[in-house]
């Protein structure tokens, strides 16, 4: 185990040290994600303070997911047709301007503006995320791809932990508006790092035929590819399925727990920061620990997804009784640990199996499924919180989690049986 750990650590260090293009992309991701969590905590705490409604809080997460869902067909085509580095730069600069508008939301009557600005911000992010995923194999070697994906995904988790803790501290101590101002600054810093990435569009990418009809045709071709490749479709559906059952509404539940049960800081912003920190540590450790065993091998990656769906259920089982502050955090950690493996390993399977020519559209479609499912998940969670309460909502999530877990287990066993008969 120690040799494997040393090898894995060296792999990540060498990637960051020896590949300046990935390093700059990674630095940009770090500061951008930091701002994202500042913004989320600030927005959730502000709505909770101004409205006190679980449905209003869930509305924030519905908007955060529906906006990129609606833009995803165009975003996938853009990521496959145009310079991906330019897409990342432009979206960072636009988001820096948009989030400054959050400073105008000062009373309950202007909460609508927060929803509008959130829709604009996340709509622009709908272009950023597919381009970021699609550019990764273009700036690293095939041998580095597994480590690059794991490090990028773990960075999301680490920044969730650190950013949530720092965001909760800033919002709880200096107010939510300081968090919004810092979020705008992080987008500018991210753009500075991405500007230094050297990138050329891979051979085969074309921006010819720029009409709306041509773009629509390209997106439909991407959907046809997914329908032909059932295994790719199943992998790309995992994030959406777990979002529908659990992940889409989990942030809404976290806000409710922080605001109503364990209130620390303005609107529970400090306790929310603690919950997100613990959850983020779990999502970061899960993929790293699991990858020691699985490596980047196709079969073990699939098996690990099935196994860690089970750990997600254990986390919800510990969390649902809401016994005390410590058991709640333990449940958050286990839920994050299992969910992090499912997320990262599903992404790795797509990176290893999807051709470059359709990579942007596949990731955009995956994100669209995730975004729509998350919006629905956030909506039903908000309704459940207002009508059933927090604990009952968590128990419902516990049982619903068996649906995506069962579907993946069925598909894995079916695929293994088919492979043995060939």
In a domain, 211, yes or no: no
Residue with the larger pLDDT of the pair 1 and 10? 10
**SS3 assignment, position 210:** coil
What is the C-alpha separation between 86 and 73, in angstroms, rounded? 19
Among 366, 364, 399, 122, which Cα is nearest to 246's?
A: 399
In a domain, 214, yes or no: no
Task: Please state which of the ranges 57-66, 249-258, 343-352 shows the lowest mean pLDDT.
Answer: 57-66
What is the C-alpha separation between 9 and 25, in angstroms, rounded? 20
In a domain, 207, yes or no: no
Among 241, 243, 236, which Cα is nearest to 351's?
A: 236
**Looking at residues 210-238, what average pLDDT do you find?**
80
**Planar angle of CA 382, 252, 98, nearest 5 degrees:** 110
The CATH number of whichever domain residue 19 belongs to comes to 1.20.1250.20
Tell me the pLDDT band of 2, cut-offs 50, 70 and 90.
very low
For the chain, give the longest Cα–Cα distance. 65
Residue 216 clears pLDDT 80, i.e. is over it: no
For the beta carbon of residue 388, count every other beta carbon within 10 angstroms: 13
pLDDT of residue 4: 45
Residue with the larger pLDDT of the pair 55 and 94? 94
Is 329 in contact with 349 (CB distance < 8 Å)?
Answer: no
pLDDT of residue 304: 92
Domain residues for 380? Answer: 13-196+223-421
In a domain, 288, yes or no: yes
Task: Please state which of the ranges 36-45, 200-209, 307-316 shows the lowest mean pLDDT.
Answer: 200-209
- The count of domains in the chain is 1
pLDDT of residue 56: 80
pLDDT of residue 222: 79
- Tens of pLDDT, residue by residue over 146-188, are 788 778 777 776 776 676 667 767 776 777 888 888 888 989 9
pLDDT of residue 30: 84
Token look-up 């997320």 returns 343
**SS3 assignment, position 265:** coil
Tell me the pLDDT band of 1, cut-offs 50, 70 and 90.
very low
Residue 252 clears pLDDT 80, i.e. is over it: yes
Residue with the larger pLDDT of the pair 76 and 323? 323
Is 169 in contact with 11 (CB distance < 8 Å)?
Answer: no
pLDDT of residue 214: 67
pLDDT of residue 266: 67
pLDDT of residue 63: 84
What is the C-alpha separation between 329 and 322, in angstroms, rounded? 10
What is the C-alpha separation between 121 and 184, in angstroms, rounded? 11
Kindly report the pTM of this predicted structure.
Answer: 0.70
- Tens of pLDDT, residue by residue over 308-366, are 999 999 999 999 999 899 999 999 999 999 998 998 899 889 988 888 778 778 887 88
- Tens of pLDDT, residue by residue over 266-285, are 667 778 878 888 888 888 88
Among 253, 354, 288, which Cα is nearest to 44's?
A: 253
Task: Please state which of the ranges 130-139, 161-170, 377-386 shows the lowest mean pLDDT.
Answer: 161-170
Percent of the chain with pLDDT over 70: 90
In a domain, 205, yes or no: no
**Looking at residues 183-198, what average pLDDT do you find?**
90
- Tens of pLDDT, residue by residue over 80-130, are 777 888 889 999 999 999 999 999 988 888 888 999 999 998 888 878 877
Q: Across the chain, what does the average pLDDT equal?
A: 82
- Report the sign of the C-alpha dihedral through residues 130, 133, 135, 137, in that order: negative
Residue 14 clears pLDDT 90, i.e. is over it: no
In a domain, 206, yes or no: no
pLDDT of residue 391: 94
């Amino acid at each position: 185990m120690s040799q494997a750990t040393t090898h894995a650590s060296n792999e990540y260090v060498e990637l960051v040290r020896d590949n300046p293009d990935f390093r700059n992309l990674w630095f940009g991701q770090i500061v951008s994600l930091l701002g994202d969590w500042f913004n989320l905590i600030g927005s959730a705490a502000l709505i909770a303070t101004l409205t006190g409604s679980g449905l209003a809080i869930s509305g924030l997460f519905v908007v955060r997911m529906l906006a990129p869902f609606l833009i995803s067909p165009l975003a996938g085509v853009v990521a496959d047709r145009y310079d991906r580095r330019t897409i990342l730069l432009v979206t960072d600069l636009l988001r820096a301007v948009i989030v400054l508008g959050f400073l105008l939301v000062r009373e309950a009557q202007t909460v609508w503006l927060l929803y509008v600005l959130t829709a604009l911000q996340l709509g622009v992010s709908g272009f950023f995320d597919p381009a970021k995923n699609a550019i990764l194999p273009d700036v690293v070697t095939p041998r580095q791809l597994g480590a690059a994906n794991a490090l990028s995904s773990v960075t999301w988790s680490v920044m969730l932990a650190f950013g949530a803790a720092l965001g909760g501290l800033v919002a709880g101590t200096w107010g939510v508006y300081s968090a919004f101002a810092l979020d705008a600054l992080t987008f500018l810093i991210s753009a500075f790092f991405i500007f230094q990435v050297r990138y050329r569009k891979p051979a085969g990418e074309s921006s010819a035929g720029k009409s709306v009809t041509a773009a629509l045709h390209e997106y439909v071709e991407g959907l046809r590819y997914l329908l032909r490749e059932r295994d790719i479709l199943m992998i790309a559906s995992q994030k959406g399925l777990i979002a529908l059952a659990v992940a889409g509404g989990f942030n809404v539940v976290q806000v409710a727990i922080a605001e109503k049960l364990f209130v620390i800081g303005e609107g529970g912003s400090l306790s929310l920061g603690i919950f997100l920190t613990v959850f983020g540590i779990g999502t970061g450790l899960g993929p790293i620990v699991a990858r020691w065993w699985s490596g980047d091998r196709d079969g073990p990656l699939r098996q690990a997804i099935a196994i860690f769906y089970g750990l997600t259920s254990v986390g919800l089982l510990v969390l649902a009784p809401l016994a005390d502050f410590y058991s709640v955090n333990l449940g958050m950690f286990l839920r994050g640990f299992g969910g992090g493996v499912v997320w990262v390993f599903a992404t790795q399977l797509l990176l290893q199996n999807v051709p470059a020519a359709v990579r942007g559209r596949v990731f955009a479609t995956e994100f669209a499924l995730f975004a729509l499912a998350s919006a629905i998940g956030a909506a039903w969670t908000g309704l459940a919180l207002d009508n059933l309460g927090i604990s009952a909502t968590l128990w419902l999530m516990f049982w619903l989690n068996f649906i995506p877990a069962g579907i993946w287990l069925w598909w894995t066993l079916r695929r293994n049986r088919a492979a043995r008969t060939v």
